[in-house]
Amino acid sequence: MKFIDGGVCAAKGFTAGGIHCGIRKNKTKRDLALILSEAKASAAAVYTTNLVKGAPLAVTKMHLMDGKAQAVICNSGNANTCNANGIEVAKEMARLTAETLGISEEDVVVASTGVIGQPLDITPIKNGLPALKESLGADNGSDAAEGIMTTDTVKKEVAVSFEIGGVKCKIGGIAKGSGMIHPNMATMLVFITSDVAIAPEMLQKALSTDIQSTFNMVSVDGDTSTNDMVCVLANGMAGNKEIIAEGEDFDTFMKALNTITVHLCRMIAGDGEGATKLLECRVTGADDEKTAKTVAKSVICSSLTKAAMFGADANWGRVLCAIGYSGAEVDVTKVDVSFESAKGIIPVCENGAGIEFSEDIAKEILLEKEIIINVGLNSGDYSSTAWGCDLTYEYVKINGDYRT
């Protein structure tokens, strides 16, 4: 497994592009992105469980019923959610994209992100599609990554190369996500591309399995978005023997997919709205996997813990508190907690009780940009990891006037 450049264009047969078409007022920001596969690809997706769903998700779900897709069109600046004509606009986005590219309308994945409840005018998208098509290139994955950003401060893209059955394969992805992130079955907007030959049902199985320990373990602010979607396209152009069942080849693909998703999870959490630190909670010694996941996510979601990490305050009691109300069956008299960063590691709690530690050393450790909260339950052999960020003044500022 080797990290490579290229993002969503790293895999054979994929091109991408991004332009400013006029949805966003800021003309320096791209607001329309496109990903195209040279060949029709196996496709899989997972979606937000929020009952309020963006219209593009409904259209995409319908288009992917046959497990195939060839292009992804995504706009930023407007989520196309809670609009009376939302479905009509999403369908028109797909139709116009298909017409521009000369492919089937049913092979277009549609996505939107931005403000909820504002009508989306199709005109700038329609007028921008010719330029968007011209922007397509094998080196333009970063432009697509920029085109899907909202309050993100950095582009999120990654790619790796690996071998299946002696054949060189690649997989890459881009993501957007900074706020309104507390997923369940999906998260943010994530688009992943691969040249692996894999049957649609196996691709869906790989994605649905992977997100349980990756994207479902990310939380920035406790709010589940209405437009969350993770979509994977695999066009088979690497030339490996098609993966149609579980086995060594499927396991290799799963490992590659997980490498991509974990990397994107960390980038999303670290770029949370107003965030100054990436938080990672590592839970070990749980009785079962569910307990480990529940505890890890409860700690990451704790607003008081997040605020303490912002202030570099080793307030371990807030970690114990989050474990206690998580709903997991935990023997709190066995719990150990330590804080860790590039500056070192410091135990702060053993067997559910405080221990002496240097506040100065603890602060030095917690002033780093990446903090690990280690939680040892000491009751079993299961473990889990969750990702989040600190809670800062800037988060309130961003969301206080997000729409205006």
Torsion angle defined by CA atoms of residues 360, 362, 367 and 371, in that order, rounded to the nearest 10 degrees: 170
Contact 178, 153 (CB under 8 A): yes
150, 187, 252, 291: the active-site residue = 187
Contact 353, 344 (CB under 8 A): no
- The beta strands (E) that lie in 120-203 are given as 156-164, 167-176, 189-194
End-to-end CA distance of the chain: 45
Residue 187 appears among annotated catalytic residues: yes
Alpha helices in 198-247 (DSSP H): 200-210
Looking at beta carbons, which pairs linking 122-129 to residues 24 or more positions away fall under 8 Å?
Answer: 122/89, 122/92, 122/93, 122/96, 124/21, 124/22, 124/23, 125/21, 125/23, 125/32, 125/75, 125/93, 125/96, 126/92, 126/96, 127/21, 127/22, 128/19, 128/21, 128/22, 128/32, 129/96, 129/97, 129/100
> Which residues are catalytic, by number?
187
